Chain A
Amino acid sequence: MALELRGITKRFPTVIANDDVSLAVQPGEIVALLGENGAGKTTLMNILFGLYTPDEGRVIIDGEELKHADPGAAIAAGVGMVHQHFMLVPVFTVAENVILGLEPLKGFDWIDRRTARKLVTEVSDRYNLSVDPDAMVEDIPVGVQQRVEIIKVLIRDARYIIFDEPTAVLTPQEVEEFFQIVRELKEDGKGVIFISHKLNEALEIADRIVVLRDGKSVGETNPRVATREQLAELMVGRPVLLTVDKEPATPEEVVLRVDNLVVLDDQAHRAVDGATLEVHAGEIVGIAGVQGNGQTELVESIMGMRPSLAGTVSVGGEDVTKHSPRQIHQLAVAHVPEDRQESGLVLSFTVTENMVLDSYYDPPYSRGVSMDWDAATQASQRLVDEYDVKTTRVDVPVSNLSGGNQQKVIVAREFDRDVKLVVASQPTRGVDVGSIEYIHARIVERRDQGAAVLLVSSELDEVMALSDRVLVMFKGRIAGEFDPMTASNTEVGLAMLGSEGGDDRVAS
């Protein structure tokens, strides 16, 4: 009894996506398939699920070979897949989505909504999914939508469940809940394949970790003995620095001052409710906090993208509370935005166009009314080389690049001038390990050159590793200040949840 991939090879016109990869998962086991973007994880799973035919190798499920590429056969054999992008109808209820496309069961007709509801409720109760069968899919959070996908798979009697980057769309709390569900599935004897490029998650959840690199299986380890450093080296192919290498900060004059700022969110709630903070030249101040405590609105307001209700923001002594994004940009402020695909880049623009996205209006890129694309292309080529952006050419759409390289485009654009202040939101979210190391190094480099850095991240580890001072944001206020050298993650974590603690100097 097992699901096995034996010697899978899959070639595409220019690349070998899988090169003699073997993988097996037993019932009641969680196997993490770890690899950087482009390592061939998704191709392998698509072969397993019958979407691609392998050029060589076999897929064997409980002793039966899966001969032809056919998702129907894979489902019938007991394989279920939860895709990264959910396949749900937003305007249908949960129950309707679950029965959609299901073969009519005995005594069960697809019009029979009551049975569908009952089925959903049963599965939901059994695995503690707490999903309301009558809720409209568009009304429920992403984390719950994912559970609907899990229910779909379970109702189809899957014994082996593949999760393709399941945590990419989840908030940290949702990730915790998700892991709990995966553990329940394991208890129930399901075999789980967990595809990820996040080391911590693989170490936390898996019984066994298989690492792919450039289409090859480069190692298999036990998470109880493996370290993050070993895994990262396996994934990237060279030793990777996971901790941030930096000297103690030498803070100088105040660059960014936020005073009693109040900002409303889209629903007109006071997302930022009297936040006060200072960032000095030559230091990195990290803002830790559970997502949704006003960090997003704070940064948007500092950058002039969201009006504030009260309070002031000043940069280098100049009051910028009412400044436009461009005016703030012109005060030598660099901004790595939280949502790189929505705000930081125009995805269908080329690398070059994105490289000049916020400086296009001045020489050398603009000669008054017309653009100088030659100058822009040259600058873009230089930045691509300098910031190690991996792309075939600079005139391809930036959407062709991997997440890490897209982020490097933003970093290159924002850092390639004299900056006094860096505001970096989630600078490494969804970015592969190698690029994380790189981006962290660049941020520290900026600090050492005298810039003030405000870092916002929902990854506590990142905040603790990179910051010289850590502020905790809770319900729109700065709820505590910590020294990352002496404070423990637990202390900071408690403050993030709103309990007393930390040094209150800044909040008062």
Chain B
Amino acid sequence: MTELPPDNQPDDAMADVPEQPSSEGRKMMRRMTGVDESWRQALVVPALSILLALIVGAVIIMVTDVDAWRLMREDPVAALGEMLEGVWVAYRALFLGAFGSVRAISETLFTATPLILAGLAVAVGFQTGLFNIGARGQMFMGGLAAVWVGLHVELPAVLHVSLAILAAIVVGGIWGGITGLLKARTGAHEVITTIMLNFVAAFFVLWALKTPAFQEEGSNLPQSAPLPESVRLPAIFGEQYRVNIGLLIAIAAVFFVYWLMYRSTLGFEFRATGFSPTASVYAGMNVSFLLTAVMFVSGALAGVAGSTMTQGLPPYTVTSNFAGTIGFDAIALALLGRSHPFGVLWAGLLFGALIAGGRSMQAAAGVSVDLVIVMQALIIVFIAAPELVRTIFRLKKAKAEPAQLTKGWGG
């Protein structure tokens, strides 16, 4: 009650702007997605959320330790000790699996690559007020396009890799752009259309991989022929490690998105449209074009993510579920990264580490890799409920800049 909302104007959207969330809805979305936050705010809650998730994860490891529970009746102290040891072993394995060796680091970076790219795709949407749930479908379409180029075009390596990625950009972008165009022209909500287009893309891939254009001759499996050497993403730590130039592309994409959103003219328009469609119309921006364009960019980034899961994934025979759950993890990741490209980079690395570490945790400590998924989910729950985190850690409300303080008390 001491903090008055900055605007008290009634919310009336313009007639010719495609339906947008109400200003309340936009505010809510901005709060969740972290668009429009100071960097300090953007750091504190995610960091504490990760910490909380680790704590809850530890509790889960403890209470699911069946052997220790058996011991509980006879010797509670020893049982508790065993539980704590279980946590130690599991988290140690998790950490070592993520950072403990060159292979572990390679696995972390390799896992992070498509996550970062898809996370950027979702973050770009968030910045413009769009909730792109379609990264999965865009990955499918982009990735499939890269496979087609891989199988049907013959070129020297550098050109072949580039052309395949370009195809992924274009096709992923178009797949995303469809959603933007539908929203701009008809007001169709992007959440609905992207979910539906995910299904279309998934089944299209399933069908396509059974056609002669993709299938290996004589095979009846829904998977592609092995991609030729020339289109595979080259490894960067040496052939024995899976991390490849996809990582460099992802990092380049981070800087590109940063430039696009904060330094380019188009990005200025994207952000203005996201914050206030009405003001964008007033300022003479073409909101319909911008919605389509930003969805193209978003889809293109997801398309590249898809291509790293085809051109970059040994053994280079592409199966019908190559996009996995990355398209959805990307939403979590964009939230964790507060929709900022650098935030997404760190969040992608973190999730990559969790997943890579989780695999070796399962092997070494016998704790299911599902725990990692639970922890990812918990991180997002905590981020979505910043008040909860603040209460747990007894943080004060985010301190505003000095100039903002005057807002609370004026008449």
Contacts and interface: CB of A to CB of B under 8 A. Distances in A.
A35 B284 contact: no
A487 B6 CA distance: 39
A176 to B, nearest CB: 19
Among B15, B16, B280, B410, the most chain A Cβ lie within 10 Å of the Cβ of B410
Contact of B411 (A85, A195, A400): A195
Given A358-B282, A396-B401, A347 B276 contact: yes
Interface string B396-411: 0000011111110111
Contacts of A353: 268, 272
B268 A305 contact: no
Contact of B272 (A35, A169, A357, A370): A357
Contacts of A349: 271-272, 275
Given A42-B409, A51-B1, A305-B14, A344 B266 contact: no
Among B14, B16, B279, B401, the most chain A Cβ lie within 10 Å of the Cβ of B279
A40 B406 CA distance: 10
A344 B406 CA distance: 22
Interface in A359-396: 360-361, 366, 368-371, 373, 391-393, 396
B402 A14 contact: yes
A350 to B, nearest CB: 11
Contact of B23 (A305, A342, A357): A342
B281 to A, nearest CB: 6
Contacts of A370: 259, 263-265
A347 B7 contact: yes
A35 B271 CA distance: 36
A253 to B, nearest CB: 26
Interface in A443-480: none
B8 A85 contact: yes
Contacts of A168: 8
B277 to A, nearest CB: 10
Interface in A34-91: 35-43, 46, 51-52, 84-85
B74 interface: no
A326 interface: yes
Contacts of B82: none
Interface in B116-141: none
A324 interface: yes
Nearest to A10: B409
Among A85, A339, A343, A361, the most chain B Cβ lie within 10 Å of the Cβ of A343
B410 A339 contact: no
A330 B309 CA distance: 47
A357 B283 contact: yes
A36 B284 contact: no
B282 A344 contact: yes
B5 interface: yes
B160 interface: no
Contacts of A41: 410-411
Given A38-B411, A41-B411, A370-B263, A341 B7 contact: yes
Contacts of B264: 369-371
Contacts of A195: 411
Contact of B275 (A197, A347, A393): A347
B15 to A, nearest CB: 5
A462 B2 CA distance: 34
A342 B279 contact: yes
A13 B5 CA distance: 21
A266 B12 contact: yes
A391 B284 contact: no
B409 A85 contact: no
Contacts of A335: 282
A254 B224 CA distance: 71
A35 B411 contact: yes
Interface string A284-323: 0000000000000000100101110000000000000000
Interface string B243-268: 00000000000000001000111111
Interface string B368-409: 000000000000000000000000000000000111111101
A162 interface: no
A180 interface: no
A43 B263 contact: no
Among A169, A306, A342, A361, the most chain B Cβ lie within 10 Å of the Cβ of A342
A85 B5 contact: yes
Interface residues of B, number: 48
B10 interface: yes
B402 to A, nearest CB: 6
Contacts of B406: 15, 38, 400
Nearest to A335: B282
Contact of A373 (B4, B263, B275): B263
A327 B36 CA distance: 30
A371 B265 contact: yes
Contacts of B101: none
Interface in A10-43: 12-15, 17, 35-43
B263 A371 contact: yes
Contact of B2 (A35, A46, A368): A46
A325 interface: yes
Interface in B186-200: none
Contacts of B411: 35-42, 165, 195, 197, 212
A358 B286 CA distance: 12
A346 interface: yes
Interface string B14-54: 11100000010000001000001000000000000000000
A348 interface: yes
A93 interface: no
A41 B409 CA distance: 8
Contacts of A361: 265
A398 to B, nearest CB: 9
B405 A14 contact: yes
B9 interface: yes
A329 interface: yes
B217 interface: no
Contact of A345 (B11, B259, B279, B409): B279
A307 B122 CA distance: 34
A399 interface: yes
Contact of B8 (A84, A197, A366): A84
Contacts of B268: 353, 360, 371
A419 B16 CA distance: 27
A392 B403 contact: yes
B278 interface: yes
A305 B282 contact: yes
Contacts of B23: 342
A360 B30 CA distance: 24
Among A300, A327, A371, A391, the most chain B Cβ lie within 10 Å of the Cβ of A371
A360 B8 contact: no
A385 B266 CA distance: 28
B2 A391 contact: no
Given A142-B10, A369-B264, A325 B276 contact: no
A306 B15 CA distance: 7
A370 B261 CA distance: 10
Contacts of B7: 341-342, 347, 399
Q: Which 7 A-B pairs have the closest CB atoms?
A: A326-B284, A41-B411, A38-B410, A43-B409, A358-B283, A399-B6, A325-B284
Interface of B: 1-2, 4-12, 14-16, 23, 30, 36, 259, 263-269, 271-272, 275-276, 278-286, 401-407, 409-411
15 contacts: A13-B402, A17-B409, A35-B411, A38-B410, A85-B8, A165-B411, A169-B10, A305-B14, A342-B7, A342-B23, A342-B276, A345-B276, A349-B271, A353-B268, A399-B6
Given A353-B268, A360-B265, 12 more contacts: A37-B410, A38-B409, A165-B411, A169-B8, A325-B282, A335-B282, A341-B6, A342-B12, A369-B264, A369-B265, A371-B265, A400-B406
